[in-house]
Structure 1
């Protein structure tokens, strides 16, 4: 049996060509929500800057039932990258893999040293663990009684310990809005996502500019990035956010 087309060794040359390029266009196939999979959109916005709206195409997979069998595992998201000249194309699946590929492409894993890359990975992993738990035990639960029962344990066992430790680590880096050095990394983007989720669950009870200034600074610094500002001001982003709030309860 031949390997899936995404995994065919012939893709190697496409990756070698496109991985170092920063002038590609991107199609991101995922549903019309943020969910746990909004990070690649933000990373592309950072990497493409003011041109994000012309270089990021969101495919909301209205044809999911038809498209699903063609994916390697039957899941979204799928990222398709195309070279500026349109001659080279590659496909990547699995959200964590997509995130790290884009972070590496756009220089969002630190200064290039192994040490800083490990730091970024460590903070990112810690934050993702909380995001995953919140989806598993709260956001994806439709039964309001079960959601209510799960809320306090999530706060005491997951959210509060994350806030305490990450506020300390960010303070130790100068409370400059970044986990590593003085520039945006994947860890910052992941925390911005978690801030929105926590506020959807608890309002400003736990995370706010007053209560967690170093964590909040991450959000404010990311909002200053040109591509992020352009993307989040777009009608498409606003529509995704409204649908996400209706479906999952956070923006």
Structure 2
């Protein structure tokens, strides 16, 4: 039996709801930022109505089996009349879907490709950090060796090229053109992780990476996002992130 998330008989109702902007949302994820954080930022920055649903005691026994890959985040979108509910799994898929809905995916095919290019780079470098650095957490000496390798290789390259391309775009706080896109949100969201990993080397600073930090400043100054980040819920997620990953995330 085909999984409910992949049931193509729901294509028409999915398409119809994808065009609506008066939906409400549920973000099913843990009480940290991590892989569910970008989704929350998109929703908050877009002024969407959303609630966070934390996995309960039955997650491992029951709920995990319902997810198509046994993982969260999962996004639920509910129509304004409450009659239609769609579900999306996997952070990258969720983020791109929401970006299209809230006009964060560029205004033409080329802009979309450029945005995707930046997203691919963000996923590549953060994926390496998460897979390599945090997997070595039980051996601090080995973890420090991995950290240095990451800083000297993929992190340094990521920072260097992003700063260059941002300067070429006018250092205007945006990666693509002069308006907010998913690329800006994604990059701004992951800057605290890269700052944390490369803190000893000081690779990200106003002196070295002014254009990169301008993106973070631009995203962080969105009023609706600022308002959500002042809530106790967000602060709880930040404390969880600090405990679990070693850094709190954006303030």
- TM-score, normalising length: structure 2: 0.93
Verify the 8 A CA contact 1:78 1:94 in the aligned structure 2.
yes
Q: Shift of residue 175 of structure 1?
A: 0.3
Verify the 8 A CA contact 1:28 1:56 in the aligned structure 2.
yes
What is the aligned partner in structure 1 of residue 38 from structure 2?
Answer: 39
Gap runs ≥5 in structure 1 = none
- Of 161, 173, 177, the residue aligned with 2:173 is 177
Q: Give secondary structure in 1 for the equivalent of 2:11.
A: helix
Q: Shift of residue 146 of structure 1?
A: 1.8
Give, in whole Å, the separation in 2 of the partners of 1:194 and 1:16: 30
Give, in whole Å, the separation in 2 of the partners of 1:217 and 1:3: 45
Give, in whole Å, the separation in 1 of the partners of 2:13 and 2:224: 26
What is the aligned partner in structure 2 of residue 239 from structure 1?
Answer: 236
> What is the 5 A alignment of 1:157-168?
157-168=153-164
- Of 79, 89, 93, the residue aligned with 2:89 is 93
Instruction: Give the number of equivalent residue pairs.
Output: 244
- Of 50, 57, 68, the residue aligned with 1:56 is 50
Q: Give secondary structure in 2 for the equivalent of 1:85.
A: coil
Verify the 8 A CA contact 2:35 2:73 in the aligned structure 1.
no
Q: Shift of residue 140 of structure 1?
A: 3.9
- Of 137, 143, 147, the residue aligned with 1:142 is 137
Verify the 8 A CA contact 1:108 1:185 in the aligned structure 2.
yes
- Of 204, 220, 225, the residue aligned with 2:222 is 225
Q: Shift of residue 202 of structure 1?
A: 2.7
Gap runs ≥5 in structure 2 = none
Q: Give secondary structure in 2 for the equivalent of 1:38.
A: helix
Give, in whole Å, the separation in 2 of the partners of 1:224 and 1:193: 13
1:83 and 2:79 aligned: yes
Q: Shift of residue 84 of structure 1?
A: 1.2
Give, in whole Å, the separation in 2 of the partners of 1:170 and 1:25: 34
Runs of 4+ in 1 over 6 A off after TM superposition: none
Give, in whole Å, the separation in 2 of the partners of 1:39 and 1:188: 11
Give, in whole Å, the separation in 2 of the partners of 1:16 and 1:139: 38
What is the aligned partner in structure 1 of residue 11 from structure 2?
Answer: 12
Give, in whole Å, the separation in 1 of the partners of 2:153 and 2:211: 21
> What is the 5 A alignment of 1:67-216?
67-111=63-107, 113-143=108-138, 144-203=140-199, 205-216=202-213
Q: Shift of residue 107 of structure 1?
A: 0.7
